[in-house]
Amino acid sequence: MTDQPDHADDHVIQAYGLEKRYSIGDSEVRALDAVSVQVRRGEMLAITGPSGSGKSTLMNILGCLDSPDAGTYLLDGDDVAKLSGDRLAAIRNRKIGFVFQNFNLLPRLSALENVELPLLYSAHRDAKTVARKALESVGLGNRLHHETNQLSGGQLQRVAIARAMVTNPAIILADEPTGNLDSHAGGEIMELFHSLNAQGRTIIIVTHDPSVARHCRGEVRISDGKIVATVRHNPVARAGAAEASLNGHGDVEAEVLGSRF
């Protein structure tokens, strides 16, 4: 919140003046135009905007999957532009958990095996136990050995969220996490994000859906590559209200603030 003392260390994301341009033939698209945003640890933030506004470009940069043409990005204090490819990949694996619209789970592997994967890369000693606990924490303790084709969309997204959390990342970045789900399953996923956020996890959700954004405390709205509004929603949706809000009946207020969350 902007009314709290400002400790730079509290900001897990500090991005200043991000620029990204694409040239196609003679024309140039400014996918990001001087975007600055700072996100505190423990925040739950939505990045919203219509199709083509620059959301994916911003998410890819914040997720260290792409680099800006100009600007500075500090992820949990590390200036990512100064990191070599290997070190950047290591930081990305450790500090960011990704959740995608299409779940991106490996077929023919069980839920448990999918969640274990990020731990195997780091030769974690007790991967199976940690993965099992993560699945239990998303309500899938009774689906550990089901393969992806034996799970519903909502369950697949829970597996993906467990996989994102299993390395205990500084932030979870979710790209349209309810986009392939019906409103009931989508509401349950938003409730799950709320409970993870209540445990102190920093969550950033990219969405074109205003009803998803209203579940988040903060919202950054972008249009034509620029931040056009920053909004604080109140109150945070209660357990049980998630589905109603996804259906457009959310009880929220908004006010415009600076781009610090």
Q: Should residue 121 be labelled a site residue for ligand ADP when binding is judged by CB under 6 A?
A: no
Contacts of 114 (CB under 8 A, 6+ apart): 105, 106, 148, 159, 160, 163
Residue 27 binds to ligand ADP (criterion: CB under 6 A): no
Min. distance of Cβ 173 from ligand ADP in angstroms?
A: 13
Pick from 44, 49, 158, 211 the residue near ligand ADP by CB under 6 A. Answer: 49
Shorter beta-carbon distance to ligand ADP: residue 53 or 110: 53
Shortest gap between Cβ of 67 and ligand ADP (angstroms)? 13
The encoded tokens of residue 20 equal 């990204």
From 3, 7, 24, 255, residue interacting with ligand ADP (rule: CB under 6 A): 24
Residue 31, H or E segment: strand 27-40
Assign 134 to helix, strand or coil: helix
When binding is defined by CB under 6 A, the residue of 2, 6, 22, 106 that contacts ligand ADP is 22
Provide, rounded to whole angstroms, the least separation between the CB of residue 99 and ligand ADP: 16
For residue 235, cis peptide bond before it (omega within 30 degrees of 0)? yes
Say whether residue 221 binds ligand ADP (CB under 6 A): no
In whole angstroms, give the CA distance from residue 100 to residue 16.
25
The dihedral formed by the CA atoms of 93, 96, 101 and 103, expressed in degrees to the nearest 10: 40
Distance, in Å, from the CA atom of 49 to the CA atom of 139, rounded to the nearest integer, reads 31
Applying CB under 6 A, does 38 fall inside the site for ligand ADP?
A: no
What is the footprint of ligand ADP within residues 54-73 (CB under 6 A)?
Answer: 54-57
- Exactly one of 51, 84, 142, 149 binds ligand ADP (CB under 6 A); which one? 51
215 binds ligand ADP (CB under 6 A): no
Residue with tokens 């979870």: 172
Whether residue 159 contacts residue 114, with contact meaning beta carbons closer than 8 Å, is answered with: yes
- Smallest gap from Cβ 119 to ligand ADP, in A, equals 30
- Token pair 């610090």: residue: 260
**Chain contacts with ligand ADP (rule: CB under 6 A):** 22, 24, 29, 31, 49, 51-57
